[in-house]
Structure 1
Amino acid sequence: MSQHPPHLRDRAAARLRRAAYERLPCQPVRDLLGPDDVDAAYAVQAANTRHACELGRHRIGRKVGLTSSAVRRQLGVHQPDLGTLLDDALVPSAGRVDPGRLLQPRIEAEVAFVLGRDLDAVTADVEQARDAVEYAVAALEICDSRIAGWDISIADTVADNASAGLFVLGPDRVDICDLDLAAVTMTMHRNGTQVASGSGADCLDDPLNALRWLANAALTYGEPLRAGEIVLSGALGPMVPVAAGDEVAATISAVGSVTVSIGSAEEVHTHG
């Protein structure tokens, strides 16, 4: 358990909240938490989640971050983490995002699960994880960081809610009972040009491994996964930057397709 004083965790939480509110990235919080104190970082994440819920937002799921070796190499962080999905982060399928909601967005494609039952005990194998899934959909996660320049250690990204931003769920719901998720393939296009590809095996060898990891980590930190929650299981390939005017589409074989648009520069000027 973390030995960091509570007042330092409070300062880290406040720094991240201010960055989100002011729409200005902040310096890393590892000066307050240390670069590797994951327990302290999860305490910061939990405090800011409580603060968001006190303001009327609601938790609707969880995400696993840093499941892809490509993403870990991009960020220089070498272990998975978990974050919280809040209701106002869900973008409608094929929806358009106001770029003013984003700071330093990067997008990735992944398999999302909707749980049909709780995972509130140790999840020993992927079949236990599979049995808890009601259905899967293709998803896009628009990751974001309140930390300037994505200059993150594991403590920074955990404290910053696993660099969560917005997410989009595709329209097709798939029964995964007999589906080999490790074998699915992903392609992602930005403005018609392919910018990423990968497979289910790129997500901790199988997206169900990511779900199992998440279930156990959530249990460890006192908030087990519940029926009805959405789980973003992690990237199937590298993250790519997105900006105003971009349109992104991803297809995951045997699962479905998903698209999102980022509002154009003209819209930013008109509404800014």
Structure 2
Amino acid sequence: MSSDQVQGAAQRLLEAYRTGTPIDPLTPEFTQAELSTAYRIAQAQVEQWEKDGDTVKGHKVGLASAAIQRQMGVEQPDFGHLTASMFHLEHQPIPAATYIQPRIEPETAFVLGRPLTGPGVTIADAVRAVEFVLPALEIVDSRIRDWKIGIFDTIADNASSGGVVLGSRPVLLRDVDLRLTGCTLHINGELVATGAGGAVLGSPLNSLVWLANTVGRLGVTLEPGHVVLPGSMTKAFPISPGDSVVANMSGLGTVSAVLGERAEQ
């Protein structure tokens, strides 16, 4: 695919961010394209954000659990970038206008203390690189109308990244078995889902290894201090302005998020 096509798709997605108006799926236009083209589209957006003053602060793995893959109709993980502007504080209303059609996912978050450079990263390498773990809520969003996405669309759309809320109680990796970490997800006080860390590629650590080796082939290193979201323990749930979300994760504690009311036009 030509650079003009890649840049054109990236500009349409960037315009969706700016206006809050979703676009039609990209897949029909790129039916013969490799997934590497979708990553080029995503990278073009990241480069524009950096030019505008944003900073990459980590990565997320999407589509890492069977529940999410079934929900989205895909069969493999993908990854996206997390920038500074995507991080929100607990207990502070998150501006609803930031998002088009948001959904919420409970995840563990790795904070790295050492670099991870693939390919060739092993579980042992990943364990040594993790400084601590936090409970997290990821807000996923799609710039594609009505979430009518295939794998090409979600990759091009930065793995449907939206926002991140981190809990504030760090836990050392040796003090928790992430495979067995159970999770309950409440929206507006109602229990909507339960899950466990083992739903994420068997262990969230497997997801971290997959990410390091995948981005390593592209010349990218996972940097110390960066946050890695390995994937959701449950399927994603739509949220609306005013909604309050709480995830409780055994051994990690709780994390909460509040989506602010949408301002009157």
**TM-score when normalising by structure 1:** 0.94
d(CA) in 2 for partners of 1:144, 1:112? 18
In the alignment, the residues of structure 1 paired with residue 32 and residue 196 of structure 2 have an alpha-carbon distance, to the nearest angstrom, of: 31
Match of 1:141 among 138, 143, 150: 138
Look up the match of 1:246.
Answer: 243
Q: What secondary structure sits across from 1:234 in the alignment?
A: coil
Give RMSD over aligned pairs: 1.3
Residues in 2 aligned to 1:232 and 1:177: alpha-carbon distance in whole angstroms: 18
- Give the counterpart letter for 1:82 in structure 2: F
* Per-residue Cα deviation, 1:133-155 (whole angstroms, up to 9, x for no partner): 00000000010000001111111
How far apart, in 2, do the equivalents of 1:123 and 1:195 lie?
39
C-alpha displacement at 1:222, in angstroms?
A: 2.0
| Aligned position for 1:73 | 70
Alignment correspondent of 2:94: 97
| Separation in 2, partners of 1:148, 1:258 | 29
- What SS does the corresponding residue of 1:245 show, helix, strand or coil? coil
Cα distance in structure 1, aligned partners of 2:139 and 2:16: 17
Specify the SS of the correspondent of 1:43. Answer: helix
| Identity level (%) | 38
Report the 3-state secondary structure (helix = DSSP H, G, I; strand = E; otherwise coil) of the residue aligned with 1:146: coil
In structure 1, the partner of 2:123 is 126
Q: Which SS does the other structure have where 1:210 is aligned?
A: helix
Q: Please, which runs of 5 or more residues in structure 2 have no aligned partner?
A: none
Which residue in 2 is equivalent to 1:198?
A: 195
Letter in 1 for 2:45: N
**Superposition deviation, residue 191 in structure 1:** 0.4
The reply to whether residue 235 of structure 1 matches residue 206 of structure 2 is: no
Matched-pair contact (CA < 8 Å) for 2:121–2:212: no
The worse-fitting range, judged by mean Cα deviation, of 58-67 and 31-40 is 31-40
Equivalent pair of 1:36/1:154 in contact (CA under 8 Å): no
CA shift digits 1:108-135 (9 cap, x unpaired):
0000010000001334432221110000
Determine helix, strand or coil for the equivalent of 1:152. coil
Alignment of 1:195-234 (within 5 A): 195-234=192-231
Q: 2:46 aligned with 1:49, yes or no?
A: yes
Within the candidate set 64, 70, 83, 2:80 is matched to: 83
Instruction: Name the amino acid aligned to 1:193.
Output: E
Residue 141 and residue 181 in structure 1: after superposition, are their counterparts in 2 closer, same or farther (change >3 A)? same
Q: For 1:109, what is the secondary structure of its paired residue?
A: strand
Q: How far did residue 72 of structure 1 move?
A: 0.9
Q: Structure 1 residues 186, 175: CA separation in 2 closer, same or farther (over 3 Å shift)?
A: same
2:1 corresponds to 1:22: no
142-151 vs 95-104, greater mean Cα deviation: 95-104
